[in-house]
Amino acid sequence: MRRRRSDGQITMQTAGEVLDDARDFVRNQVSGLLRRLPGPRPVVRIKLTRSARPALSWSALVQANIEVRGQQMRGQATGAFFHEAAQSLRRSLAHRLPTLAGLPAWWDGRPRVPVTEVSGRRDIVRRKYCTPVRCTPDQAALAMDLMDYDIHLFVDAETGEDSAIYRIGPTGYRLARLVSTAPPSGPVSVPLTVNVHEVPQLTPEEAAGRLDATELPFRFFRSADTDRGAVLYRRYDGHYGLVTPAAP
């Protein structure tokens, strides 16, 4: 059962059996946090999903998409109950909100959404086509943090190459370009290292096979289908999602 309800600038959508008090608790957690932001009220879309699948490591999923002065921010969290998931989501958003006010907010090593183990074959169940933005590594890192991604696909402003930035260690970021391995020539404010290994050319299925053999959450590769950079990532349901640039 899916329900949609709007309360001012907060739109709530539910999937599965979600009680009214759980919906109200999540809305109050998010709206209470956003009241701290100066300026116009953000536009917020919240989705609550109750899963009855016993194979999943969670039963409550909370997802929030927030637009503040034209900037998009995204967060999601899981838990056994919506109260637990909502509190985890609030902590995640609270860490990143200062960035919207122009203050630095580096990743603090918070736990990511747990990935459900899949018995048998993992499949590519979602394909996303995007237009990577041409920007600097700093700007790509900011977008990644605001959207709560593990990895972000973009076009490097200096080299014009499809590139990816992702977190490495508790506080650092790593830049991977399709060809270039030299550090950026301009100043960089985030703690950044550069990938010095060749980005492999793979089909999406070959990339999935390599992820099957590792514990890594994603892989950046040159798609043999398009000759463009692509990202394959583990979804919260244990299967894979694929992000590739849209055709011109």
Determine, yes or no, domain membership for 207.
Answer: yes
Q: Which tens digits make up the pLDDT trace of 154-190? A: 999 999 999 999 998 766 899 999 999 999 998 898 8
Determine, yes or no, domain membership for 108.
Answer: no
Q: Which tens digits make up the pLDDT trace of 198-208? A: 999 999 999 99
Determine, yes or no, domain membership for 78.
Answer: yes
Name the domain count of the chain.
2
Q: pTM, whole model, 2 decimals?
A: 0.64
Q: Which tens digits make up the pLDDT trace of 218-245? A: 999 999 999 999 999 998 788 899 999 9
Determine, yes or no, domain membership for 107.
Answer: no
Instruction: Compute the mean pLDDT over every residue in the chain, rounded to the nearest whole number.
Output: 84
Determine, yes or no, domain membership for 110.
Answer: no
Kindly tell me if the per-residue pLDDT of 150 is higher than 60.
Answer: yes
Of 243, 136, 237, nearest in space to 192 by CA = 136
How far, in Å, CA of 193 to CA of 172, rounded?
8
How far, in Å, CA of 42 to CA of 245, rounded?
29
Residue 146: its pLDDT value, please? 73
The enclosing domain of 225 has a CATH number of 3.30.505.50
Determine, yes or no, domain membership for 116.
Answer: no
Q: Which two tokens stand for residue 169?
A: 């260690």
- Mean pLDDT (whole number) for 89-95: 80
Determine, yes or no, domain membership for 114.
Answer: no
Instruction: Looking at the structure, tell me whether residues 69 and 166 fall in a common domain.
Output: no
Instruction: Looking at the structure, tell me whether residues 131 and 184 fall in a common domain.
Output: yes
Instruction: Looking at the structure, tell me whether residues 128 and 240 fall in a common domain.
Output: yes
Domain extent at residue 171? 124-245
Instruction: Looking at the structure, tell me whether residues 66 and 138 fall in a common domain.
Output: no
The DSSP-derived string for 85-132 is HHHHHHHHHHHHHHHHTT-------PPPPPPPP-SS---EEEEEEE-P
Q: Which tens digits make up the pLDDT trace of 100-148? A: 655 444 333 333 445 555 556 789 999 999 899 999 999 898 888 777 7
The enclosing domain of 89 has a CATH number of 3.30.160.100
Determine, yes or no, domain membership for 112.
Answer: no
